[in-house]
Amino acid sequence: MIQKNKTIKLVLTAFFIALGLVLPFVTMQIPSIGNMLLPMHIPIILCGFLCGGPYGLIAGFIVPLLRSVLFGTPPMMPIAVAMSMELATYGLVIGLLYHKLSDKRWGIYISLIIAMFAGRVVWGITSFGLFRALGNTFTWKIFLVQAFVNAIPGIIIQLIFIPLIVYQLRRVQQSEGMSNGRA
């Protein structure tokens, strides 16, 4: 049973990696829309919720880098590298927190909000270091605008739809457990 569970998590992680590679094509025609809707974030956050922190970390780290190598977007330096750290943080933090808080009424939201904040902080620190190493500037204003102001539509989408998806998947999982004789 443990091996089966691990296999399911690996398959789901691969699915979320593929989804993270494909979903940005929806917004690719207008890059500013993609920057606002954050299409790569959603599969990684779901991976962290459904598969756990280590799987979310791996998926989050891989997707921006692999997308950069395969499709040239986002640009590897500094964007894809900083995003890989950000998304890895989302996947890890969500998975770890949700594991601890899943039985709490607001566990999904608490996990999601803390992970979103932590990921953005990691992105800011990484971006600051990478931009500085490349001889460019990265200020607090740039951080706040990119991490929060420009991302408001994506943040709203994540706060509305991710909990709904997780609740629905949890319901399906529970009903399957009951129909298989497990409670």
Q: What is the pLDDT of residues 106-164, one digit of tens each?
A: 999 999 999 999 999 999 999 999 999 999 998 889 898 888 888 999 999 999 999 99
91 CB contacts (<8 Å, ≥6 apart)? 44, 45, 47, 48, 53, 55, 56, 57, 58, 59, 60, 61
3-state helix, strand, coil in the chain (%, to 5): 85, 0, 15
Q: Identify residue 140 by its one-letter amino acid code.
A: W
Task: Decide yes or no: CATH 1.10.1760.20 for domain 2-179.
Answer: yes
- Return the pLDDT at 1: 60
Which of 26-30, 47-51, 106-110 is predicted least confidently? 26-30
- Return the pLDDT at 180: 58
Rounded distance between C-alpha atoms, residue 35 and residue 70, angstroms: 19
pLDDT at 88 over 60: yes
Rounded distance between C-alpha atoms, residue 52 and residue 99, angstroms: 7
Polymer length in residues for the chain: 183
pTM of the model: 0.91
**135 backbone φψ class: left, alpha, beta (φ>0; ψ -120 to 50):** left
Q: Identify residue 40 by its one-letter amino acid code.
A: M
Please, what is the angle between helix 41-51 and helix 81-101, to 10°? Answer: 30
Encoding tokens for residue 89?
A: 């943080």
Mean pLDDT score of the chain: 91
